[in-house]
Amino acid sequence: MSTRLMAAALTVAMGLTVSVVSTQASACDVAALNATAPQSTVRANAFAQFAGGIKAAQERSGAVAAISSPSFNAPGNAGSIVGYWRFAWTAPDGVTGIDWGFQQWHSDGTELTNSGGQLPATGNFCTGVWEQAGRGAFRLNHWAMAWNLPGTDPADFVGLINIRELVSVDRTGNTMSGTVTLDLYAQDGTTFMAHLGEGTVSAERITASP
């Protein structure tokens, strides 16, 4: 492994574990870890408002099924995940944001994410595949490209971030919750570089009707 790749891995890992505002640690953008303080404040505020809206929706639903709850695989918990969702990933402290944005889970087992924590200049769309993991439960394997920002030295492709989610859809079919883990790999997609962290997932379904 090159020194540059190792340094990038350590930067990402440190950003997720000791950064004051880990919303800098976008799922797809390593360079976001180096954002300035004003940018970090803006991102933190954006995440707080975005995640707050999802939390309010979950509270209205009153039927959130957590991965650890006895109702996770209950017979009545069989909601479909196919559709359009807005999501938020929160660090273990329950407050700090990891990433947020929109996801589409397709009936063919593929998934598309539009990351709000990722700057468009480095590509804020990434893709994955999912499968059923139990009644009302779903497992996602998602890969993102990690780039340093244009204009930085070097403005290079750093590696691949593997994002794995285990989530459940509630009985209403309108909210989901679960866990997410993030790991950094070298460009070959097989050489493990660093465990970036984990967090919780919350999401609200978006429908065509208001």
Mean pLDDT of the chain: 75
Q: Which contiguous run of DSSP H or E holds residue 15?
A: helix 3-18
* pLDDT value of residue 165: 97
Residues in the chain: 210
Least confident of 24-33, 39-48, 102-111: 24-33
Give the number of other CB atoms < 10 A from CB of residue 21. Answer: 18
Residue 62: phi and psi, rounded to 5, are 65, 20
Residue 20: phi and psi, rounded to 5, are -65, -40
Domain count of the chain? Answer: 1
* pLDDT value of residue 62: 62
> Is-contact 169 65, C-beta < 8 A?
yes
* Model confidence band, residue 1 (pLDDT cutoffs 50, 70, 90): very low
**Encoding tokens for residue 205?**
């379904």
**Encoding tokens for residue 156?**
């290079």
Domain extent at residue 199: 3-206
Tell me what the mean pLDDT of segment 155-168 comes to.
90
pLDDT beyond 90 at 123: no
* pLDDT value of residue 170: 86
* pLDDT value of residue 198: 93
Q: Which residues pair with 103 in a beta bridge?
A: 85, 113
* pLDDT value of residue 100: 92
pLDDT digits (tens, 9 = 90+) for 59-79: 766 654 444 444 444 434 457
Least confident of 11-15, 26-30, 63-67, 128-132: 11-15
- One DSSP character per residue, 21-68 reads SGGGS-SS-GGGGG--HHHHHHHHHHHHHHHHHHHHHHHHHT----TT
- Residue 115, domain CATH: 2.40.128.120
Question: 């099924």: which residue's tokens?
Answer: 65
Tell me what the mean pLDDT of segment 45-68 comes to.
66
Q: Cα–Cα distance between 24 and 33 in angstroms, integer?
A: 5
pLDDT beyond 60 at 127: yes
CA distances to 46, 48, 209 from 18, rounded to whole Å, are: 20, 19, 41
Residue 191: phi and psi, rounded to 5, are -80, 110
Least confident of 103-112, 121-130, 191-200: 121-130
Q: Which amino acid is at 45?
A: N
* 163 closest CA partner among 123, 126, 119: 126
pLDDT beyond 60 at 25: no
